[in-house]
A and B are shown apart, each in its own frame.
Chain A
Amino acid sequence: MIKPLITISGVGMLASILAAARAPRLWLGGVLAGAAGGLGAAVLALSTGFVWEWRSELTIGGEAVHLRLDALSALFLALLSLIGGAGAVYGREYWDGRAHPRSAWSERVCWSALVLCLGVVLLTVNGLHFLIALELSTLSAYFLVTLDRQRSEVRAAGWLYLAASHAATLCLLAFFTLMAVRTGSWELASMRDRPELAPLFWLALAGFGLKAGLFPLHIWLPSAHANAPSHVSAILSGVTLKIGIYGLVRFSGWLPMPPQAGWVVAFLGVSSAVLGVAFALGQHDLKRLLAYHSVENIGIILIGLGFALVAMGQGNARWGRLALAGGLLHVWNHGLFKSLLFFAAGSVLHATGTREMSRLGGLWRLMPWTASLFALGAVAISGLPPLNGFVSEWLVYLGLFDATLARGSSAWAAIPAAILLGVTGALALACFVKVCGVVFLGAPRSRAAADARESGPAMRGAMLVLGAGCVAIGLAPVLFWPAVLRAVDVWNPVWGGAATPVALSSLGMLHVALTLLALGAAGWLWRKARRGGLRRAVTWDCGYAAPTPRMQYTAGSFSSIINEWFASILRPERHEHRPEGLLPVSASFTEHTPETVLERIVMPAGRVVMRVSTAARGLQHGRVQSYLLYLLIGLAALAVLVVLGGGS
């Protein structure tokens, strides 16, 4: 049953690539058929635990094509299919042929290619094909990021993305080649019984960590996600980052692990989570802020994976299973709510033409669908009940709490991790209160915001599908638990199947009750408001004679206290001109949070490399005499080496 679905999926995507240039409707049909096929296959694999395997006679690069779908890859395939399909529908309206006649067709081709290549990455069990598909998906993503390439910051973001991706590919190339050399084949399978392969994990961590946007390696992420068209940001953040997670989970399950691996991953996860949200708080650009939240959520996923690795290292302690299940469920959840948020942010951008939060405001009345769905996503990403973000974070918490009950070093690591996870959630909540308040509430701060119009049915429909996904996982976590558990069992079969934790089913019921309660309360308020009637008055009618929208809280002022706490890490740039005298004429204050890792570490290092290589280039100046001198020095050095080495 899985094979025809996968075939439909592959054929649909290939057909959509061919149809993309001339027939947009056919393209949409192809992508949707492909997405439906992929989703069906993933659901089947997840619900039955069946492992589908297919070997072909066809060879690519001298290696036979070999595909495999198990519960772990199905988990990611389901997410890819959903976002790939929803994004295609959204993109039809967001990047339509009339507004972008020159790039609309290349958007369609690259979208299909990206989704298809990511699917191949998830299904293939051949290292060479994995690398090829990953590289092709990076290239398609690059062209999608730079669709609007007339703007120079888009080109710069695309360039940074490409450079970072190539650094990642370099690590992964070394990883796969070394693995192939040591095992004698490109075929990937479980290699737990070969302890000499353990050090390769560090290469995988660097490569997939760059792909996933781990904290110190996230430098490319904010600018790429902010400058790409919004549905592209959604798939980049919702799915492409998860490919890095997929690689880490897959190979940490297949390879033997160095003993420190779990601690390192957990530490990186905690630092990504806390610092990601801290950077997000300092942003004034709506999409850049969302991009930093991706770093945070990748951190939460990695906390789950890291503690699962620790648990595995300590004799397969059971709490590791909860942590990993939480992490994997968070893969789905983050994919859903982050794509939803990017879609909604794109809808705002589409309607107003700006991503600057200080130019928006008051959009709730003008764009009720977008605003409500954004708020839904915001509640989910802040980890508030009754939505899905709470479920997965809660599973991670459960794992951490069980770890603290277990004796040993893991307890000492789990306590601070749990506390920092709580801090992350609180900061995320503060951040989204800021976004919702500044963007959707209050009064419009600019002409563009005042003239905003609600987006059309295609964009709203795509957002509704994702919003429904968030609600479904939040209200009925028990339905999704077996699927996640199967993926966890693929990762470590030793843990074996166990019943649903009692707490999870009661959590589901609690969520339903909470929702009903909230709906009831909302209905009651609404009725009361309708009966009693609303009285409108000026907001600050005590001293402010003429309030203007510019007197509202700005994004910067809202979060300035929290920014102050993290100032030593964020290093915000401030320019202030204080009011002076009794009747000050002018005053100004601007604050900007740069990408600190990029600007303080990577770029200075790049400049040093540049200077050294420019100096080294001076060695080649065309004077024969000096070339001969180099030769002589080389010979003398060799002679010295021989004389010294001969003695030993």
Chain B
Amino acid sequence: MGLNLLALGTNRLPSLIRAVALQGVALGVMPLLMEYETLNWRVAAVALATIAGKGLVIPALLRRAMRAASIDREIEPFIGFVSSLLLGAGGTIAAVAFARALPLLPEHAGTLLVPGAIASILTGFILLIGRVKAISQVCGYLILENGIYLFGLLLIHSTPLLVESGILLDVTVGVFIIGIIVDRIQRAFDSLDTRKLTTLRE
């Protein structure tokens, strides 16, 4: 969750991407820590794939897109960095409070998993709403997806492997495509500012 706040607070794109990568690795390790007593090959495979995908492949793709577009800073966000931080902190507190109100199974009720997941989703939203550059938005989307994945960990034993890998593949391909689109936007408009795309609304 600290990583979420880091992602909100930074204006440098490389550190944003690093935060996303670290979060991916942490997510990958999470099932191993949670289920170390009943470790089986399925959980291990999911964990390894997550670390590889979210920790290495996706950040690498993002860095490439960033280099191709030759930008590394988010300069004029819709929501300022300090206020995003405050919003993120508020969101985290709200998430903890909200998780108490949810009708959860008793074995999940005590953990920080659910509030963490909700806080990540909120952070992802704040990034998506508050940032202008396409790459920051992709990172927001990834953090949002991480939150959903964290929620899915509650069900890791009942989710088929195929579904897990399908989601992972989806995200990777999505980021890949966005990388290409970012490149195209950069060439066409000489900027990655999504505000300039408003004429496409009708």
Which one of B51-59, B105-113, B123-131, B148-156 is at the A interface?
B123-131
A606: chain B residues within 8 A (beta carbon)? none
- In the complex, the answer to whether A624 meets B199 with C-beta atoms within 8 Å is no
Top 10 nearest A-B pairs (CB, nearest first) are: A622-B201, A622-B198, A629-B129, A625-B129, A628-B128, A628-B129, A632-B125, A625-B78, A623-B198, A624-B194
User: A198 to nearest B CB, angstroms?
Assistant: 45
A628: chain B residues within 8 A (beta carbon)? 125, 128-129
Contact surface of B with A, Cβ cutoff 8 Å: 78, 98, 101, 125, 128-132, 137, 194-195, 197-201
B197: chain A residues within 8 A (beta carbon)? 622, 624
Q: How far is the CA of A628 from the CA of B195 in the complex (A)?
A: 14
A506 in contact (CB, < 8 A): no
A622: chain B residues within 8 A (beta carbon)? 197-201
Q: How far is the CA of A632 from the CA of B199 in the complex (A)?
A: 23
For window 591-648 of A, CB contacts with B under 8 Å fall at: 620-626, 628-629, 632, 639, 643
Q: For residue B101, which residue of chain A has the nearest CB?
A: A643
The verdict on A621 contacting B131 (CB below 8 Å), with A628-B125, A643-B101 known, is no
User: A85 to nearest B CB, angstroms?
Assistant: 53
Which of B128, B131, B132 has the most chain A CB within a 10 Å cutoff?
B128
Contact surface of A with B, Cβ cutoff 8 Å: 620-626, 628-629, 632, 639, 643
Question: A-side binding surface: helix, strand, loop or mixed?
Answer: helix
Q: How far is the CA of A624 from the CA of B136 in the complex (A)?
A: 13
- In the complex, the answer to whether B130 meets A625 with C-beta atoms within 8 Å is yes
Would you list 17 pairs from A and B whose C-beta atoms are within 8 A, ordered by A residue?
A620-B201, A621-B201, A622-B197, A622-B198, A622-B199, A623-B194, A624-B128, A624-B137, A624-B197, A625-B128, A625-B131, A625-B132, A625-B194, A626-B129, A628-B125, A632-B125, A643-B101
Q: For residue B94, which residue of chain A has the nearest CB?
A: A636
B132: chain A residues within 8 A (beta carbon)? 625
User: A318 to nearest B CB, angstroms?
Assistant: 66
A626: chain B residues within 8 A (beta carbon)? 129
Q: For residue A624, which residue of chain B has the nearest CB?
A: B194
Q: How far is the CA of A632 from the CA of B127 in the complex (A)?
A: 12
Q: For residue A632, which residue of chain B has the nearest CB?
A: B125
Q: How far is the CA of A643 from the CA of B132 in the complex (A)?
A: 33
List 17 other contacts, CB 8 Å, given A622-B197, A643-B101: A620-B201, A621-B201, A622-B198, A622-B200, A623-B194, A623-B195, A625-B130, A625-B131, A625-B132, A625-B137, A625-B194, A626-B129, A628-B125, A628-B128, A629-B129, A632-B125, A632-B129
Q: How far is the CA of A622 from the CA of B129 in the complex (A)?
A: 13
Q: How far is the CA of A628 from the CA of B78 in the complex (A)?
A: 13
Q: For residue A629, which residue of chain B has the nearest CB?
A: B129
Q: How far is the CA of A595 from the CA of B27 in the complex (A)?
A: 72
User: A412 to nearest B CB, angstroms?
Assistant: 61
B194: chain A residues within 8 A (beta carbon)? 623-625
